[in-house]
Structure 1
């Protein structure tokens, strides 16, 4: 099957993220991929991405993360062609600054779990000032969809709110790309909704993805670190039993995600105390998972 030869013709966004775990499970952009009979995780993930390419009508870019932490940049076409790249995908140009006034922040109800304020000094210097307005309201044509998310949340219909948020994120991804502030902010809302539903692994994956995308776009650092800490918060309760969240404990899943959690924490410059503590808990995980 021919590979893609005109790499410059492939749009810079979206860049889908495939994660393959040691137990042969796969996810695409934080969503689990169901394997068909006879498929392994890589085949199932690539089939999922091929469908996305078919819907868009052109090849798409992919970062495939292996269980050992290695990342392979690929281009995947809807006909099944997979083209490995010798270098990472080029960064997309920064979106133009929206002209809207700041909008109210979508905030969690009181009493929801969160990590304490940051401690220690950042591992890396703070990035330059953001080039886009991360507080800008959604364009008018998307606000009704966002009201559906908020309405379902307000009435306790968290599953419906999560579905509506996924639909909104997909629409924003199609219109602006996966790293635009509009899209990433809704991705963070999805993470928050999954955490409230007790979907700890999914919430962790979405929080980490949102934090990394914000970091790539030099978004305001405080919120980027908060999202990374929330991803770590989810991992911590997968890794260690807690009387407050007894249903979260899943050391096998924590083991699968340890390398990714540490990679994102280091990438965004999380506090050294969080990284060191994660490494310490991770070292205790194999025996915990076997017991």
Structure 2
């Protein structure tokens, strides 16, 4: 949690370090502090939580995203209540519905383009490592699968699984399982071998629970590599 303290004379501090500001007004210093935090969020490629205290003692809980977007306390509570990004942000729900409808209508390639657009938009607004991004990535993986591209779908699910593992989310296992299922549908032997190596790395992140799947991957990899050599 980053702490911002604002004083009545227009000065401000971010985690105890004074904020340089050409505009010495309270509004100017507040804006400078948020810009500084947004730069840090962009460098770290993740959203940052902020506790800002005004001169009158009022405390504001905020989330500052890499794009510079600032969310208020209500949205912060929503993130805390939904750490795995299971609820689609209100501003993106229509786009998600559009992807689903395109799949249902049999226009899978349009769905794939819409899903890519959705993921890019969410990553720009919330940062590349946000749970909403991994959910969008999984949706894009599904559109690739229904388009007959299991290899691409596997890669995307693997990326999502790595992301979930990176934030310690239980959603990791679901993404890893879907990657495993897609991998079994890849027919090109050389690509299967490469994807199998990636899948094995991801499954090793799952601990004991992933050992049966990992053994299955290694066994199939041996068979695939034997076929390539033969």
Which bracket does the TM-score occupy, shorter chain normalised?
0.5 to 0.7
Partner of 2:179: 231
| Aligned mate of 1:276, from 198, 210, 215 | 215
What CA deviation, in whole Å up to 9, does each residue of 1:179-225 have, x standing for no partner?
Answer: 21211111001111111222011000001111111111122x2x321
1:189 is aligned to: 139
3-state DSSP of counterpart to 1:271:
helix
Shift of 1:283: 1.4
Shift of the 10–227 alpha-carbon distance from structure 1 to 2, 3 Å rule, reads closer
Go from structure 1 to structure 2 and tell me whether the alpha carbon gap of 1:256 and 1:170 turns closer, same or farther (over 3 Å shift): same
Q: Which of 168, 186, 190 is 2:118 aligned to?
A: 168
- The equivalent residue for 2:196 is 258
Query: Residues 186 and 266 (structure 1 numbering): CA distance in 2 closer, same or farther, change over 3 Å?
Result: same
**Distance across 2 between alignment mates of 1:279 and 1:256:** 12
Name the CA distance, whole Å, in 2 between partners of 1:159 and 1:10: 32
In structure 2, which of residues 158, 162, 166 is the aligned counterpart of residue 216 of structure 1?
A: 166
Residue 261 (structure 1) shift = 1.0
Match of 1:178 in 2: 128
> Aligned pair 1:132/2:80, yes or no?
no
Deviation at 1:9, TM superposition (A): 9.4
Q: Return the alpha-carbon distance in structure 2 between the equivalents of residues 225 and 286 of structure 1.
A: 27
* Structure-2 separation of matches of 1:97 and 1:276: 42
CA distance in 2, matches of 1:199, 1:231: 12
Question: 1:280 Cα deviation (Å)?
Answer: 1.3
Query: In 2, distance between residues paired with 1:271 and 1:10?
Result: 33
State the match for 1:285 in structure 2.
224
Give 1:100 shift. Answer: 4.5
Per the alignment, residue 77 of structure 1 pairs with none
Structure 1 regions of 5+ residues with no counterpart?
Answer: 1-7, 15-55, 57-95, 102-128, 239-248
Q: Is the 8 A contact 1:97 1:133 kept in 2?
A: no
The corresponding residue for 1:145 is: 95
Which whole-Å CA distance do the structure 1 matches of 2:84 and 2:174 have between them? 18
Name the CA distance, whole Å, in 2 between partners of 1:257 and 1:133. 26
How many Å separate the matches in 2 of 1:193 and 1:205? 13
> Is the radius of gyration larger for structure 1 or structure 2?
2
Give the TM-score taking structure 2 as reference length. Answer: 0.63
- Aligned pair partner of 1:12 in 35, 44, 58: 44
Contact 1:211/1:224 (CA < 8 Å) preserved in 2?
A: yes
Structure 1 residues 133 and 236, CA gap change in structure 2 (3 angstroms): closer
Decide which structure has greater helix share.
2
SS of structure 2 residue aligned to 1:174: helix
CA pair 10-184 structure 1, distance change in 2 beyond 3 A? closer
For residues 41-120 of structure 1, the aligned pairs below 5 Å read: 98-100=76-78
How many angstroms apart in 2 are the aligned matches of 1:233 and 1:267? 17
Whether the 8 Å CA contact 1:97–1:131 is kept in 2: the answer is no
TM-score calculated relative to the size of structure 1: 0.51
